[in-house]
Amino acid sequence: MSICGCSSLQNEPLFLRLASPSLPPYEAYLVRRWNEGCSNAQQAYREIKERGYPGTDSNVVRFFGHLRKHFDQAGTFKQVDPTTQPPVQVPPRRPPSASQVAHWITLKEEQQLDWQKKYLTQLCEADQEIREAHELVTDFTTMVRERQGERLDAWLEKVEAQGRAELKNFAEASPEASLEKAV
């Protein structure tokens, strides 16, 4: 609904003048933007801020709130027959990233949420490589947390035997210095 036909708003918007003494010079512009279809108070605030408005966005939001309350028909809802409309589909949940899964593996078991444990279990059951990597990373993080440096040589042998390239690279990069820094 256009506000142009409402003389009380154009001539004397008294209910709006309570908002801020700095807003009245910009009210005509805000009403014009409203009539052009801009109902986004933050967008209108940015526009009048560029024109020199010294006030805060809360005054503009309040102004637009009054416009919505008194002149907007958008609050009415269209009646829809649910039998003719397709059901609303929930979008599929995006699987976690590799980084997220790697982070979960490094957590203590009691820190993992139930759904994270379940997801990790399913991954380990589905793929032997993931299961082996999970076991090795869990062993290493436990060794670091509990300061068990004497277990490092056995862990390195397991890494060499299982042949995971990423873990081998990690293990070959001066393991003693890495473990001493970590412990």
- The string of DSSP letters for 28-55 reads HHHHHHHHTT---HHHHHHHHHHTT--S
What pLDDT, on a 0 to 100 scale, did the predictor assign at position 4? 45
Question: CA torsion sign, 109 to 112 to 113 to 114?
Answer: negative
How remote is the C-alpha of 44 from its chain's centroid?
26
Instruction: Give just the sign of the alpha carbon dihedral 116, 120, 126, 129.
Output: positive
Q: How far apart are CA 176 and CA 172, in angstroms?
A: 10
| Higher pLDDT pick, 79 / 98 | 98
User: How high is the pLDDT of residue 65?
Assistant: 83
Does 43 have pLDDT greater than 90? yes
CA–CA separation, 116 vs 96, rounded Å?
10
Model confidence at 3, pLDDT cuts 50, 70, 90, reads: very low
Burial class (CB in 10 A: 0-12, 13-18, 19+), 151: middle
What is the residue extent of each domain of the chain?
7-71, 98-182
pLDDT: is 168 or 129 the higher one? 129
If you average pLDDT over residues 36-63, what whole number do you get?
A: 89
Looking at residue 135, the DSSP 8-state letter turns out to be: H
Helix axes 128-145, 165-172, angle to 10 degrees: 30
pLDDT band for position 125 (cuts 50, 70, 90) = very high
- For residues 163 and 74, the model is more confident at 163
CA distance 76 to 67: 15
pLDDT tier, 13 (very low <50, low <70, confident <90, very high otherwise): very low
pTM: predicted TM-score of the whole model, two decimal places: 0.45
CA 159/CA 137 separation, integer angstroms: 10
Residue 2 pLDDT: 40
Q: In this predicted structure, what is the pLDDT of residue 48?
A: 92
Instruction: With a cut of 70, say whether residue 104 has pLDDT above it.
Output: yes
Query: To which residue do tokens 């299961």 refer?
Result: 131
Residue 121 φ/ψ, nearest 5 degrees: -60, -45
Over residues 126-157, the pLDDT tens digits come to 988 888 888 888 888 888 888 988 888 888 88
